[in-house]
């Protein structure tokens, strides 16, 4: 089988080597399309692919239509909002993710961003400490839980909101479950966002939630830019000169935010949460293994379009 590894943002060499080894040991061939700049390159490359490994690469209906042999797409990572699930399902294509495999990298970045913002983006002057502050985890999945555990090491008081996780699962980590999203934001000096981008969450974090945060409140977004109401964010940053926003996924209006709010806002140059060699190896090898297993045994454990 031909497995296309299509990564606009390529994996570390070690991860690519591991993917190739796993595939070839099972009799499959890996073809690489890395750092592509034109979508036509992707459309051409999928034309004879039976399997596809991607990162945040967009698998839209035109990609699906250009891939008549495609049986499986594995998003080497957690969020699969970049894949048109309906288009894949309509063509009988199985879509999977690799949950948990890059979580530690993202969690470490979230904590790093909190320290960075607490110390005024490492510019001279007096900053603050994380110790003793309350951190609100917005969605207690793989990344949220790891952020909570790391934050406990900093001496933070950790609370979390997640309607899909019960309080026992949080208590075991020393984390208090709060019942409402409003309670999470109004009590948290820091909020770390870990919600996926879905029709329900898009634009859901705006002026009212952010405006309820205590003085000096900081929102750290290592999730998705789409969940932010950017107009609401700009409004509340204007009204509340104490609030801060750090993100790993630049806002569409990031230039204006930077100009207006200086060191109170920060965005990485390109999404880098999962950009560690370790995360690349974990997610990449998991993706290759899942594809090999799917073709060998029909295993669809991580399928997201069931
Ligand atoms: C994910 O959903 O797994 C992360 O956002 C990582 O995305 P990336 O593979 O494009 O870095």
Q: Tell me which of 12, 56, 105 to substitute to probe ligand 1's pocket, judged by most ligand atoms within 8 Å of the beta carbon.
A: 56
Beta strands 218-221 and 244-247 are parallel
Tokens for 186? 């109004």
Q: Which residue ranges make up each domain of the chain?
A: 2-101+275-297, 103-267
Distance (angstroms) between ligand 1 centre and the Cα of 277 equals 13
Distance (angstroms) between ligand 1 centre and the Cα of 19 equals 17
**pTM beyond 0.95:** yes
Q: Which residues' Cβ are closer than 6 Å to ligand 1?
A: 9, 55-56, 77-79, 102, 271, 273-274
Domain 2-101+275-297 coded CATH 3.40.50.720: yes
Identify the pLDDT of residue 131: 98
Residues of the chain above pLDDT 70, percent: 100
- The minimum-distance atom of ligand 1 relative to the CA of 79 is 2
Q: Are 130 and 107 in contact (CB under 8 A)?
A: no
Go through 118-156 and write b for each residue having 16 or more CB atoms within 10 A of its CB, e for each that does not: bebeeeeeeeeebeebbbbbbbbbbbbbbbbebbeebeb
Identify the pLDDT of residue 74: 99
CATH architecture of 103-267: 3-Layer(aba) Sandwich (3.40)
What's the rounded mean pLDDT across residues 133-147?
98
What's the rounded mean pLDDT across residues 135-155?
98
Asked if the domains at 2-101+275-297 and 103-267 fall in one CATH topology, the answer is yes
pLDDT band, residue 77 (cuts 50/70/90):
very high
pLDDT band, residue 223 (cuts 50/70/90):
very high
**Distance separating alpha carbons of residues 84 and 75, to the nearest angstrom:** 12
- Per-residue model confidence as pLDDT tens digits over 233-291: 999 999 999 999 999 999 999 999 999 999 999 999 999 999 999 999 999 999 999 99
Q: Which of 258, 147, 244 is nearest to 195 (CA)?
A: 147
- The minimum-distance atom of ligand 1 relative to the CA of 76 is 9
Three-state SS at 157: strand
Q: Which of 64, 67, 116 is nearest to 89 (CA)?
A: 64
Q: Tell me which of 7, 79, 139, 193 to substitute to probe ligand 1's pocket, judged by most ligand atoms within 8 Å of the beta carbon.
A: 79
- The minimum-distance atom of ligand 1 relative to the CA of 97 is 3
| H-type alpha helices, the chain | 13-25, 39-45, 61-65, 85-90, 103-118, 142-153, 167-171, 181-187, 207-211, 230-239, 254-261, 277-297
């Amino acid at each position: 089988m031909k497995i296309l590894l299509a990564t606009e943002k390529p994996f570390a060499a070690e991860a690519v080597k591991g993917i190739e080894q796993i595939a070839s040991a099972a009799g499959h061939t890996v073809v690489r399309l890395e750092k592509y700049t034109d979508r036509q390159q992707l459309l051409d490359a999928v034309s004879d692919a039976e399997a596809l490994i991607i990162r945040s690469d967009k698998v839209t209906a035109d990609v699906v239509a250009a891939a008549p042999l495609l049986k499986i797409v594995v998003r080497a990572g957690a969020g699969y909002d970049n894949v048109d699930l309906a288009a894949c399902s309509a063509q009988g294509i199985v879509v999977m993710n690799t949950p948990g495999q890059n979580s530690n990298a993202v969690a470490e970045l979230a904590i790093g961003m909190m320290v960075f913002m607490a110390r005024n983006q490492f510019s001279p002057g007096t900053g603050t400490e994380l110790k003793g502050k309350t951190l609100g985890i917005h969605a207690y999945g793989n990344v949220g839980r790891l952020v909570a555990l790391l934050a406990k090491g900093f001496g933070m008081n950790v609370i979390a909101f997640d309607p899909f996780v019960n309080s026992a699962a949080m208590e075991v980590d020393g984390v208090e479950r709060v019942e409402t999203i409003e309670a999470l934001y109004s009590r948290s000096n820091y909020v770390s966002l870990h919600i996926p981008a879905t029709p329900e969450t898009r634009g859901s974090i705006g002026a009212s939630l952010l405006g309820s945060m205590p003085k000096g409140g900081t929102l750290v977004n290592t999730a998705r830019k789409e969940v932010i109401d950017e107009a609401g964010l700009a409004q509340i940053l204007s009204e509340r000169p104490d609030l801060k926003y750090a993100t790993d996924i630049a806002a569409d209006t990031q230039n204006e935010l930077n100009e207006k709010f200086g060191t109170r806002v920060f965005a990485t140059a390109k999404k880098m949460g999962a950009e560690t060699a370790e995360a690349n190896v974990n997610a990449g090898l998991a993706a290759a293994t899942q594809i090999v297993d799917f073709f060998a045994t029909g295993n669809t454990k991580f399928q997201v379009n069931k």
